Amino acid sequence: MPQPRKIAAGNWKMHGLGESLSEARALAAAHTAPGVDILLCPPATLLSRLSEALAGSAVATGGQDCHTAAKGAHTGDIAAAMLADAGARYVILGHSERRADHGETSAQVAAKAQAAHAAGLIAIICLGETLSERDAGQTLEVVGAQLSQSLPGGADAANTVIAYEPVWAIGTGHTPGLEQIAEVHGFLRAGLPDPAIPLLYGGSVNAGNAAAIFAISDVDGALVGGASLKAADFSPVVTALEKSLR
Ligand code: 13P
């Protein structure tokens, strides 16, 4: 049975100007032969420059969203093929901030993932419960529905990654208990069309808590926001993931 790949992914969200390229270069310089996959997802305005700066390094790049259509009259939107053309290998889809800010539904996320796959991109599909859903005991029901509705047909370990990001853990400094993460990841693993699809945890991951999170079975890495912006913060998270393999 093939094991899921281990992935340390950074989501820069709406952060980063040209000066941030030096952080990406520093990260790549610190991990020239990593034992895990590393990627940074900058804002679209930086994607080309970041991909060029990281060419030949072990750090890949990704977009943060794509349109469902291959091209067309959609002012302000970006097609998956454009991300690939700008050097991306991945695209984050269905992040809770997009689900909240732009009303993205799981059906739209599935259509976007299909477009990403058609362009040769690996889709990182995000899901997670709100605090009120967790308090109401609905966590598994919510993430189970998001998983089944957000995955397109043909999703497998070569083209898809899942990121479990509890909404209440994002940017708050609060993470679920380790057993809560284990429960959700075990539940998600059982619902995957291909058990080798990597399952990332996201939400307030940092150098201090990464090792404990990576020790949980069914956690194959992390999708990191704030702590991915600086190489000095993200590099220890990458190292913790590498160490978890030993
Ligand atoms: P933080 O790591 O800043 O909590 O963000 C997590 C996240 O949303 C990554 O996609």
For residue 99, tell me if it sits in a domain.
Answer: yes
* pLDDT of the residue at 246: 83
* pLDDT of the residue at 2: 85
Ranges assigned E (strand) in the chain: 7-11, 37-41, 59-63, 90-93, 122-127, 160-164, 199-202, 221-224
Range of the domain at 163: 7-243
For residue 102, tell me if it sits in a domain.
Answer: yes
Pocket lining: 202 vs ligand 1, CB cutoff 6 Å:
yes
Provide the whole-model pTM.
0.98
* pLDDT of the residue at 53: 98
Q: What is the number of structural domains in the chain?
A: 1
Mapped onto helix, strand or coil, the DSSP state of residue 193 is coil
For residue 225, tell me if it sits in a domain.
Answer: yes
CA of 204 from ligand 1 middle (Å) equals: 6
For residue 92, tell me if it sits in a domain.
Answer: yes
* pLDDT of the residue at 227: 98
For residue 2, tell me if it sits in a domain.
Answer: no
* pLDDT of the residue at 87: 98
For residue 1, tell me if it sits in a domain.
Answer: no
Residue 98 CA from chain centroid, whole number: 13
Tell me if residue 174 is catalytic: no
- What does the buried/exposed string (b/e) look like for 204-217 if buried means 16 or more CB atoms within 10 Å of the residue's CB? bbbbebbeebbebe
Ranges of residues in the chain whose predicted pLDDT is under 70:
none
Residue carrying structure tokens 């058990």 = 195
Residue 213 CA from chain centroid, whole number: 16
Paired sense of beta strands 160-164 and 221-224, if any: unpaired
CA of 167 from ligand 1 middle (Å) equals: 9
For residue 12, tell me if it sits in a domain.
Answer: yes
Catalytic-role residue among 67, 95, 117, 185: 95
**CATH number of the domain residue 67 falls in:** 3.20.20.70
First to last CA, the chain: 19
Pocket lining: 223 vs ligand 1, CB cutoff 6 Å:
yes
Is the Cβ–Cβ distance between 108 and 75 less than 8 Å? no
**Main-chain dihedrals φ then ψ at residue 112, nearest 5 degrees:** -65, -40
